[in-house]
Structure 1
Amino acid sequence: MAAIFLSLVSFLLFSSTLISSNALSVNYYHQTCPKAESIIAKVVQKGIINDKTVPAALLRMHFHDCFIRGCDASVLLDSKGKNKAEKDGPPNISLHAFYVIDHAKKELETMCPGVVSCADIVAVAARDAVALSGGPTWDVPKGRKDGRVSKANDAIQLPFPTFNISQLQQSFSQRGLSLDDLVALSGGHTLGFSHCFSFQNRIHNFNNKNDIDPSMNPSFAASLRQVCPKHNKVKNAGANLDSTPTVFDNAYFKLLLQGNSIFSSDQALLTSSRTKRLVKKFAGSQEEFFEAFVKSMIKMSSINGGGSEIRLDCRFVN
């Protein structure tokens, strides 16, 4: 079984020109920092105890990191002087739980100074966030290096919640990810919360004919309009992404088929025959969703960030 898994990892790592040419390894820190993953898991678990939104935050952080410059922890860098960093770009303003990564890095620097990259911490923490929320676990290939460049303007490269299927496909394919990966990774929306501005387009002034997106379940749309009125003045108003926002399960896909999805990009998955088939498949089998999610996470988290160092502090270059 182990041999099959390693073969799968090897295939995924080299299946795209965007995947790192420097082979990652699940045993990368076996000699240099053998307790690295247990330390990260302990910090993530502590973070979840204190804040149930941590899993969704860590998973989203990893996604946003990999989709901009590859998986190089550039999303962790703080703005400095005239340089506004990724985390301060509009799509990333709501990212949080950076302190979890900071705490893990601090402990790792005490145990194994200058060994574990911030990019690897983010990747492992995302895996732990999923597993500790009831989702699958997997061996994370490691060996990423940290990048030295982070620009707020680059954050516009992230796929928007208003994207249609063509825009989503283009965004993912540019990173070596397929439609299958798109659907599987969209399942990450089973965790978390969204602010009103991310789905206002569906519940107010949808188009010239409809105020509400007709693909939405009317009662669901009505409930969203209650918490997000047209001229919303409540700063943190919004809605959970599915009915079990702190549990990693396949409820997202079930709700999507019922017209109870939050984003336009969620609904877009039902506008292509291939993606719709996968949505139905994952709605009917949590096991198959978990299996596909693991494969796509390994693939996404292996996108080469071109990093060159091991940061001593994840918020600043050395």
Structure 2
Amino acid sequence: MPASSFAAKPKIAVSACLTGAEVRYNGGHKASRLCNEVLGEYFDLVPVCPEVAIGLGVPRAPIRLVGDPAAPRAVGSRDPAQDLSAPLQAYGERMAAELDAICGYIFMHKSPSCALERAKVYQANGYPAREGARGLYAAAFCRLRPDLPVEEDGRLCDPVLRENFITRVYAYAQWQHLLADGLSRGALIAFHARYKYQLMANNPREYRTLGKLLGSMTRDDAPEVIGPRYFSQLMQALRRCASRGNHSNVLLHLSGYLRDVLCDEDRREVRQLIDQYQAGVVPLVVPLTLLKHHLRSHPDPYVLQQVYLQPHPERLGLRNAI
């Protein structure tokens, strides 16, 4: 992806406490260094606190989930008669419509309103059920925005999950740009072509499925009909984290474009670094950097358009740790 693709900052919604806003029940915050010092340089962060938005004060008595983990209710921990389920769900539905310009969302983990998974659901005996649940606001929001990249702050400490999430955010942003420019048959096919190797890394099977979907388009098929279906499948495919084996396979495919222009020594060096990456000796950035160096000297227009070579700003260093 060319550097110009990163000129505009995509918008990411973030649980407000992660930005340092003192909106938690105890009057505190959960400021995230990743959000504020790293991602804040590349994204416009949109803070949201559903509990404050529905009228709860700061500080306030905490709320918790109770009942059936498959369909919990949110109630006051000190006053179980205070049922906040409907307001939280309604606000989630409202924000799903209003935050139409965001390209991702980072939720606060363990929160009865914002957690994506494993929020405690308390039972009549006072103990939480074995199964956790999604926070009620997050559940309502995500139900209406199933294609939007979402993640919890705690999971973003994992470098593989972090790189995957940011890759999806930029894919979402690129799709929005495509829609703004006008979705044509040619633009849709070109978009898929740019994502060929990224899809091969994340989900080779879905790469073939999506290719067949576009290949089956007829002149009578409107891009406005095929496009949303394609994009939904694309975003689901990208949710699967790329394995070391799939990355290695993609690197070998890319090196194949250089086979006839590199000397034997350079080819051996490329293969050695790919093998070292697959063995876990070096991070992905090492063989990838060498390939990009050779591609600058021996440019191939098809390869240079591949999102896989630069799915996010290089300065984020996301591939230095995977």
TM-score bucket (shorter structure): under 0.3
Provide the TM-score with structure 1 as the length reference.
Answer: 0.25
Q: Report the structure number with the largest CA radius of gyration.
A: 2
Greater RCO, 1 or 2 (C-alpha within 8 Å, sep 6+)? 1
More strand per residue: 1 or 2? 2
Provide the TM-score with structure 2 as the length reference.
Answer: 0.25
